Structure 1
């Protein structure tokens, strides 16, 4: 009897009355073994060695890599929650009630009625958009657009308040620790992801019920405007000389640039103070814009620019909306959705569950400090001390919820989201865009959660915080009963990766509280730091150096943590695969996607790990055991 029990434990099988079930560790081992293609040499092509059969075994129409699998699984759970919570429709003033209303309106959305957005956003009170007036009066021989009461700067401000940016005007915001808001007027960038065409614009207008003749006429007009503004942006895109920049208070803006003051008043009514600061990065561009808009208004040729703004705004709204309604509510009301999941899933509220995660975090933190102490690159001790101080204040948020979360806190966060309607997605979408815009202006560093939306693990440099979404606390990435080797080689690696971002080129432009700083400039300009970044770039030109930097540190941290935590029992009892090989095989599962970049990423991770080379006994000079590795810490 005892021998049988020992054999079953060795194989990773757990026993319960009446049936036999596979343990989480056994299932994870099965995924690893079924993914492997041992005909490849791991020292030359570890991706195909570790992931050769992953696509045929595990990819589906819904996902083709682990991140997609995790997202699919969590979204299926969220959909079930959203579909069953019908009683929330009676709680329209609560955050969860608003969440349910938005979800239901999304489910009823019909794209052919996109023009309904303009029932709520008009050029001025009781003033119709010229394009819609043309559509209404198409049969009329002559019509005139009444421009009385119209102010284009007020309109630009209103459009900006829906997070519509980088068209004629580009505005950035930065909140200082003392509450002062810095507003940056910059030159827009001509960076269209997909170039529009006359045919494409015309077809979109025909879909929206414009007659074919009108559709082609206004599509051509749109393309003329698009080319004009693209050329205008590019002619002013060079870095301005100091004399072409301007710094003034919000109060001073009213005197020097009343048109921009009017724009900000329309965008943020009653939310600005005289002490808030305004920076104009290129006075010449904003003078050109002022002159152009003045001449356009004087010539009564304002309809062309309004048509352009309306079509760009509609395209922005269409691109912002996500057809998958679970993903759409995640994007607009992520805190409320996370709280709904948190409230439903009692397991993630258990103290011992959180304690397990925090234990991993504490050991990653300890090992990162140890790496800094060892100072592999021989940085000056004063620089290392600065880095330790940054790491000391690094925070982790599980689920990206506020500290000491409660339903009342969630309700308060969505307090300004009012008048949502179950059957009016277009109105609701606009309301939530404004909410997203205004929340971005909060005093960011005083939040106990990130104001950014994370679907995967991430680092927010503005609050010096790592975010671990609930969706990542599930198989095959994590299970509370996994053997330590599986916990450290995936979740431990990912947490170590995100911790390391606090020390990359972007992270070191922010202090321990997340404020922008130059205090780490001497580190960023140090020979050791620059050589490491150049080394990573040289290994694969065009790769995301910040990501590879975090990868190389993250894998070292996780491997060390596993070894330090399991010195007496490194080899799991449920497999004959050597423990150090199993570690990297499990990490590889995260990169078994069909994209070529997955192979590049995985290979750059392991070629910079001496632990990998030792695990697979890779000859020096082989593809994944180069004579020179990239390493800062």
Structure 2
């Protein structure tokens, strides 16, 4: 009788629990809300699983799940800035604190007069040389003094504000042969990114007009600049030699080989005199010899205008051109990521909550890693025993960084010391001045690495790519062999710690497995545990089985083969870990709780949420679009076909590991 009574009580209690308080029911409602029943999951699974996404989010300012997480996070930060603003007006507010500096930049973005946002102000504050203005600011009736213009010195000056991919690619990076040492890497520019080339006609015309270029001269100037850029791009294509080895050479040697003034260029970048014996890491010497010939034959005023235009494209691409609070929060997060991550950690998480989230994430990661090690041990690629050990040791050494902050017991002291040299005046508001100030600060921090050892795994945090650091999406750092999980990812619906493991492994588990795979993809395989280039990995990469599987995954051609590899392997890891009962959670789903839907269907529907969206194809940087990614990773995956009863003549699934 007591057993029967207890059972009845539990059934009634379960039936009366509101769905909002039941995380599993809530997640299932979220998943089912996107399903378009009229679509056939076997013919077009992205449409079936995500077909209702556009109508459900038609009015929302985001177009996929990580953007939704970012938007939720940005709204929280706006509230925090409001609280800090009130606190700043009270006696006792510490005006030199980290929070005060963050608040000042936010208020500069939100409240600075529109006059401080005019593009001409950038050029007035950053001329091409100390005693030379940009061509459009010449005195009326006088020619621009071309003889004073030195393009390499101008590029060196502009590098102080992060311009590093015009005519020359110049970055501070880890030595390819010694990851504990930083070096200046010099190479050809790339033209693949959104801000790596002259924009379209309308946008370029508007930009030049706003910069003070005379309307009558804009059209011929645009034609000449585009022709110059095409010539530069052609040089990069003609001199891109994959067989040419990266070289380490003294500046004096580089000057002799290219007849360019590298030492002066280098000194402007680092801000102090250097020896001719100072070494750089360089490739594509033929390009620089050809570039010199092209530059010598180019009108200096045209060259100055081209560099100026690319500088403005760089600046506008690294800022939010809007004073809306949400846009200003994005600006703060991209410009002061360590500071905002510090605020996030202590404002949005209690110590207990963060400890729990960290434990959940590390447990997921550890189970997925074990599964990957088993796959490596099964040896589908027929590696030698030594090769298997090399790959397995790399996987075992991968670390995970929660929040993109260093693992220090006193994060405040660390962050305040990091931003100690950043001056942020409170007397007035000038957006462009402070934007340049922050860009210069970030460049100085990068240059400082040349005179210091590389951080340890526990000291490391990532700042290099502003778009990456302000995103809630995770990413893998190849030289550190580290997966970074931003704090923003720990939000519903992607992360619900109280939910069942089928949700955790299909979504957060897949995301972690995807990043884990990058350690041994077609790029990661070439770096060892220490983050140094390992040429012995060439034998693995060039082995017949490795190449065969890479070609299999590229049957439908993609420019992003490593991302496809990570998707396919990530799916195998997440699915295999959960359904092989390697999760450490033996309890089963109640069919009644999930409307009698099978665990397999729940897994695949939950997985699809990471790929649901309605954004344009242009928003996917360095990845195929989400619909194609989801379709490709499920192609030939027999557990999916079984779950949905598909009888499609799909090819065999491709697998590397």
State the TM bucket, normalised to the shorter chain: 0.7 to 0.9
SS at match of 1:466: strand
Aligned-residue Cα RMSD (Å) equals 3.2
Are positions 1:631 and 2:655 aligned together?
yes
The Cα offsets for residues 287-346 of structure 1, whole Å up to 9 and x where unpaired, read as: 4555666787xxxx7444333322321222122212321111111111111111111023
Q: Which residue of structure 2 lines up, in the alignment, with residue 516 of structure 1? A: 533
**1:253 Cα offset (Å):** 5.3
The Cα offsets for residues 228-265 of structure 1, whole Å up to 9 and x where unpaired, read as: 34314414642378999975224655787672110110
Stretches of structure 1 that go unaligned for 5 or more consecutive residues are none
SS at match of 2:536: coil
SS at match of 2:476: strand
**Shift in alpha-carbon separation, 1:295–1:234, aligned structure 2, 3 A:** closer
User: How is 1:20-99 mapped onto 2 (pairs within 5 angstroms)?
Assistant: 21-86=20-85, 87=87, 91-99=94-102
User: Which deviates more, 196-205 or 362-371?
Assistant: 196-205
Are positions 1:118 and 2:123 aligned together?
yes
**Shift in alpha-carbon separation, 1:247–1:380, aligned structure 2, 3 A:** closer
**Shift in alpha-carbon separation, 1:293–1:495, aligned structure 2, 3 A:** closer
Are positions 1:352 and 2:356 aligned together?
yes
**Shift in alpha-carbon separation, 1:379–1:104, aligned structure 2, 3 A:** same
Q: Which residue of structure 2 lines up, in the alignment, with residue 366 of structure 1? A: 370
**1:2 Cα offset (Å):** 4.4
> How far apart, in 2, do the equivalents of 1:340 and 1:124 lie?
39
**1:528 Cα offset (Å):** 1.6
User: How is 1:101-112 mapped onto 2 (pairs within 5 angstroms)?
Assistant: 101-108=104-111, 110=114
> How far apart, in 1, do the equivalents of 2:240 and 2:609 lie?
47
Q: Which residue of structure 2 lines up, in the alignment, with residue 249 of structure 1? A: 250
- Residue of structure 1 aligned with 2:319, choices 318, 321, 339: 321
SS at match of 1:519: helix
Q: Which residue of structure 1 lines up, in the alignment, with residue 630 of structure 2? A: 602
Kindly indicate whether the alpha-carbon contact (under 8 Å) linking 1:247 and 1:278 is maintained by their aligned counterparts in 2. Answer: yes
SS at match of 1:85: helix
**1:366 Cα offset (Å):** 1.6
Kindly indicate whether the alpha-carbon contact (under 8 Å) linking 1:54 and 1:592 is maintained by their aligned counterparts in 2. Answer: yes
User: How is 1:437-448 mapped onto 2 (pairs within 5 angstroms)?
Assistant: 437-441=443-447, 442=449, 443-444=453-454, 446=456, 447-448=459-460
SS at match of 1:123: coil
> How far apart, in 2, do the equivalents of 1:372 and 1:217 lie?
63
**1:499 Cα offset (Å):** 0.4
> How far apart, in 2, do the equivalents of 1:548 and 1:357 lie?
23
> How far apart, in 1, do the equivalents of 2:425 and 2:295 lie?
36
The Cα offsets for residues 531-556 of structure 1, whole Å up to 9 and x where unpaired, read as: 11111110x22263212211222122
> How far apart, in 1, do the equivalents of 2:261 and 2:102 lie?
38
Are positions 1:375 and 2:376 aligned together?
no
TM-score (norm 2): 0.84
Kindly indicate whether the alpha-carbon contact (under 8 Å) linking 2:248 and 2:280 is maintained by their aligned counterparts in 1. Answer: yes
> How far apart, in 2, do the equivalents of 1:234 and 1:308 lie?
16
- Residue of structure 1 aligned with 2:561, choices 536, 541, 545: 545
SS at match of 1:35: coil
Are positions 1:334 and 2:340 aligned together?
no
Stretches of structure 2 that go unaligned for 5 or more consecutive residues are 322-326, 618-624
Q: Which residue of structure 2 lines up, in the alignment, with residue 593 of structure 1? A: 613
**1:183 Cα offset (Å):** 3.1
Are positions 1:100 and 2:100 aligned together?
no
In the alignment of these two chains, the number of paired residues is 610
User: Which deviates more, 502-511 or 228-237?
Assistant: 228-237
**Shift in alpha-carbon separation, 1:293–1:396, aligned structure 2, 3 A:** same
TM-score (norm 1): 0.87
User: How is 1:488-567 mapped onto 2 (pairs within 5 angstroms)?
Assistant: 488-538=505-555, 540-542=556-558, 544-563=560-579, 564=581, 565=583
Q: Which residue of structure 2 lines up, in the alignment, with residue 425 of structure 1? A: 431
The Cα offsets for residues 203-225 of structure 1, whole Å up to 9 and x where unpaired, read as: 33434565xxx223145224313
Kindly indicate whether the alpha-carbon contact (under 8 Å) linking 2:135 and 2:305 is maintained by their aligned counterparts in 1. Answer: yes
**1:197 Cα offset (Å):** 5.8
The Cα offsets for residues 473-515 of structure 1, whole Å up to 9 and x where unpaired, read as: 1111111211121111111111111101111112112222323
> How far apart, in 2, do the equivalents of 1:448 and 1:434 lie?
21
Q: Which residue of structure 2 lines up, in the alignment, with residue 397 of structure 1? A: 401
Kindly indicate whether the alpha-carbon contact (under 8 Å) linking 2:84 and 2:99 is maintained by their aligned counterparts in 1. Answer: no
- Residue of structure 2 aligned with 1:479, choices 493, 496, 499: 496
**Shift in alpha-carbon separation, 1:334–1:379, aligned structure 2, 3 A:** same
> How far apart, in 2, do the equivalents of 1:343 and 1:568 lie?
34
**1:601 Cα offset (Å):** 1.5
SS at match of 2:121: helix
Kindly indicate whether the alpha-carbon contact (under 8 Å) linking 2:120 and 2:212 is maintained by their aligned counterparts in 1. Answer: no
Are positions 1:234 and 2:254 aligned together?
no
- Residue of structure 1 aligned with 2:134, choices 119, 122, 129: 129
**Shift in alpha-carbon separation, 1:51–1:274, aligned structure 2, 3 A:** same
**1:604 Cα offset (Å):** 1.8
**Shift in alpha-carbon separation, 1:192–1:384, aligned structure 2, 3 A:** closer
**Shift in alpha-carbon separation, 1:219–1:84, aligned structure 2, 3 A:** farther
SS at match of 1:28: helix
Kindly indicate whether the alpha-carbon contact (under 8 Å) linking 2:69 and 2:489 is maintained by their aligned counterparts in 1. Answer: yes
